Amino acid sequence: MTAGVDTLRLTAEDALGLVERGEVSAEELHGAYLDAIGERDPELHAFLRTVDEPEGSSIPIALKDVISTRGVETTAGSKILSGYVPVFDATVAARCKAAGLTLLGKTNTDEFAMGSSTENSAFGPSRNPWDPSRVPGGSGGGTAAAVSGGLAPWGLGSDTGGSIKQPSALCGNVGLRPTYGTVSRYGVVAFASSLDQIGPVAKTVRDVALLYRIVSGRDPCDSTTVELPAPVELPTAERLDGLRIGVPRQAVALEAIEPGVRSAFEAVLALAEELGAHVDECDLPLSFEYGLPCYYLIAPAEASSNLARYDGVRYGPRSEGETYRDAVERTRDDGFGAEPKRRIMLGTYALSAGYYDAYYGQAQKVRTLIVREHATAFESFDVLATPTSPTVAFPIGDKAADPLAMYACDLLTIPSCLAGLPGLSVPCGLSGGLPVGLQLVGPQFAENALFRAGHALERALGLDLVPERLRT
Ligand code: GLN
């Protein structure tokens, strides 16, 4: 412990207070987290690399390795980008720097953010601080493990179909996937551009709101961004009076939801009612039946196009060949792991002449219906609630050989991603000693409402979210 800082318990908000009051310097705080990393990261492997010299006057932050950082290698968890050192900062990295945050390091991710466990990282999996024999979730397992293991006060992840929300749930963190278009993707390694979003992971809802305030808003470098309609508020209310919570019948009926997850979810709904909320069932029949297949056509289709740029000419290492074509083929064969190759093949197939309408075109139509179904639900409800993940953290290796089982991890997070809606995962209890997450989904730009609901529940639950084995 450097300067009396307990990185396992310190929230980002409290860390900011320490620095502002001059009780701890930015250097000391950065050093305290580096010490924690030195102690625990050999086991957790949350970081792919750390930055030893802090530049900035405030608290540290960890960035998922899909976010370009000037002068700091950025690999997206892939061999095909190893050695790639960006000459510019992604807008979100620049905004963190402008706020004085010091870059602590780059966190592990499934290759190109494709996965739900971090086992697809070309640099080896991360481990869950609650039980290192289990996955931290994915693809942002590195950031989630770093935050819950006390290796970073907060971090930024990317979420295409659940990669912020699901690892946050599995590691006992709060994670926000913001409304599509509220956070810039300029300088972020693209996976599926109509779905990718950047968002915060932290210990508390207020920390998540603080970081969202720093990174959100229009960016002239990303034409898909908009200005927020209202400033980000830090939640304070402890009640939920009048909040209408909808529980999608078709989601809770899914057999994939483990009993322990189900009971933690039911208990938090009962608590919400005690706090003054109205909880009722709602219907989203298409979203939970067709969301997953629809996503696994659209996301690979877009990925196959986005990943075409990795040819060994523009970025990263090159495998030599007799001709240009040989060199590109070998580079891609050597550089991409199994999952990106699988997605490129799926996506190329779904986009090919003769199949485009049947697969990609059909998926886009289903997506429109999913958008409408959510809009209808929000005529009667303020937020929708489901568990974030059907299961708690699973053992490393359990699903690694079964892509379909891995894809099913995002059954509950994907529908709202397809609809472009914000989703907040908040810890809502433990099952077998492992964290369970509650997913709250709102209409577009309803982040403040999600923060209020999440904060009131977090306060009422009062969970100790330091992994049991690390408590002293
Ligand atoms: N697990 C999902 C996938 O593999 C989502 C990943 C993500 O959100 N980046 O595509």
Residue 216 annotated to the active site: no
Categorize the per-residue pLDDT at 314 as very low, low, confident or very high, splitting at 50, 70 and 90. Answer: confident
Determine which residue's CA is closest to atom 10 belonging to ligand 1: 114
The per-residue pLDDT for range 229-284, each reduced to its tens digit, is 999 999 999 999 999 999 999 999 999 999 999 999 999 999 999 999 999 999 99
| Contact between residue 176 and residue 212 where contact means Cβ atoms under 8 Å apart | yes
> What single-letter amino acid sits at 323?
T
Categorize the per-residue pLDDT at 196 as very low, low, confident or very high, splitting at 50, 70 and 90. Answer: very high
Atom of ligand 1 nearest to the CA of 138: 1
1 has pLDDT over 80: no
Residue 365 annotated to the active site: no
The per-residue pLDDT for range 19-38, each reduced to its tens digit, is 999 999 999 999 999 999 99
Give 54 Cα–ligand 1 centroid separation in angstroms.
Answer: 31
Atom of ligand 1 nearest to the CA of 159: 8
Among 147, 53, 162, 165, which residue's Cα sits nearest to residue 107?
147
CA 340 to CA 347: how far, in whole Å?
10
204 has pLDDT over 90: yes
Quick one: average pLDDT of 376-382?
98
Quick one: average pLDDT of 300-304?
98
Q: What integer pLDDT is reported at residue 150 of this predicted model?
A: 98
Give 254 Cα–ligand 1 centroid separation in angstroms.
Answer: 20
Quick one: average pLDDT of 147-157?
98
Q: Which two tokens stand for residue 111?
A: 């290759």
Give 240 Cα–ligand 1 centroid separation in angstroms.
Answer: 32
Place of tokens 């990106």: 340
Active-site pick, 163, 168, 216, 287 = 163
188 has pLDDT over 60: yes
Place of tokens 């909040």: 243
In a mutational test of the pocket of ligand 1, which residue from 139, 143, 417 has the highest number of ligand atoms less than 8 Å from its CB?
139
Categorize the per-residue pLDDT at 3 as very low, low, confident or very high, splitting at 50, 70 and 90. Answer: low
Residue 47: half-sphere exposure toward Cβ, Cα within 13 Å:
29
Q: How many other C-beta atoms are found inside a 10 Å radius of the C-beta of residue 229?
A: 10
120 has pLDDT over 90: yes
Quick one: average pLDDT of 357-372?
96
CA 7 to CA 107: how far, in whole Å?
17
The per-residue pLDDT for range 428-439, each reduced to its tens digit, is 999 999 999 999
Q: What integer pLDDT is reported at residue 4 of this predicted model?
A: 77
Residue 262: half-sphere exposure toward Cβ, Cα within 13 Å:
9
CA 89 to CA 82: how far, in whole Å?
17
Give 415 Cα–ligand 1 centroid separation in angstroms.
Answer: 12
Q: What integer pLDDT is reported at residue 472 of this predicted model?
A: 83
Q: Which two tokens stand for residue 420?
A: 């472009």
Pocket (CB within 6 angstroms of ligand 1): 113-116, 139, 159-163, 191, 299, 410
Give 219 Cα–ligand 1 centroid separation in angstroms.
Answer: 25
- Burial (CB count within 10 angstroms: exposed 0-12, middle 13-18, buried 19+), residue 46: buried
170 has pLDDT over 90: yes
CA 243 to CA 180: how far, in whole Å?
24
Categorize the per-residue pLDDT at 70 as very low, low, confident or very high, splitting at 50, 70 and 90. Answer: very high
Give 13 Cα–ligand 1 centroid separation in angstroms.
Answer: 29
> What single-letter amino acid sits at 459?
R
In a mutational test of the pocket of ligand 1, which residue from 65, 110, 404 has the highest number of ligand atoms less than 8 Å from its CB?
110
Atom of ligand 1 nearest to the CA of 296: 10
Q: What integer pLDDT is reported at residue 2 of this predicted model?
A: 52
DSSP 185: -
- Cite the DSSP H helix spans in 198-337: 205-215, 249-252, 259-274, 285-306, 324-335
Q: What integer pLDDT is reported at residue 173 of this predicted model?
A: 98
> What single-letter amino acid sits at 236?
T
Cβ neighbours of residue 129 closer than 8 Å, sequence gap 6 or more = 40, 44, 136, 145, 148, 149, 150, 171, 467, 469, 470
| DSSP conformation letters of 357-422 | IIIIIHHHHHHHHHHHHHHHHHHH-SEEEEESSSSSPPBTTSSTT-HHHHHGGGTTTHHHHHTT--
Give strand pairing partners of 425: 175, 439
Q: Which two tokens stand for residue 304?
A: 């196959």
DSSP 222: B
> What single-letter amino acid sits at 97?
K
Atom of ligand 1 nearest to the CA of 295: 10
62 has pLDDT over 80: yes
Active-site pick, 139, 184, 216, 416 = 139
Among 392, 452, 415, which residue's Cα sits nearest to residue 245?
452
In a mutational test of the pocket of ligand 1, which residue from 110, 163, 417 has the highest number of ligand atoms less than 8 Å from its CB?
163
CA 385 to CA 377: how far, in whole Å?
12
Atom of ligand 1 nearest to the CA of 163: 8
Quick one: average pLDDT of 357-364?
95
Give 46 Cα–ligand 1 centroid separation in angstroms.
Answer: 18
The CA R_g of the chain, rounded to the nearest whole Å, is 21
Residue 63's H or E segment, with its range, is strand 60-64
Taking CA 140 as the corner, what is the angle to CA 135 and CA 141, rounded to the nearest 5 degrees? 25
Active-site pick, 64, 97, 203, 399 = 64
- In the sheet that holds 383-387, the strands lie side by side as 47-50, 102-107, 60-64, 154-159, 197-202, 174-177, 423-431, 434-441, 383-387, 244-248, 278-282
Categorize the per-residue pLDDT at 316 as very low, low, confident or very high, splitting at 50, 70 and 90. Answer: confident
Residue 156's H or E segment, with its range, is strand 154-159
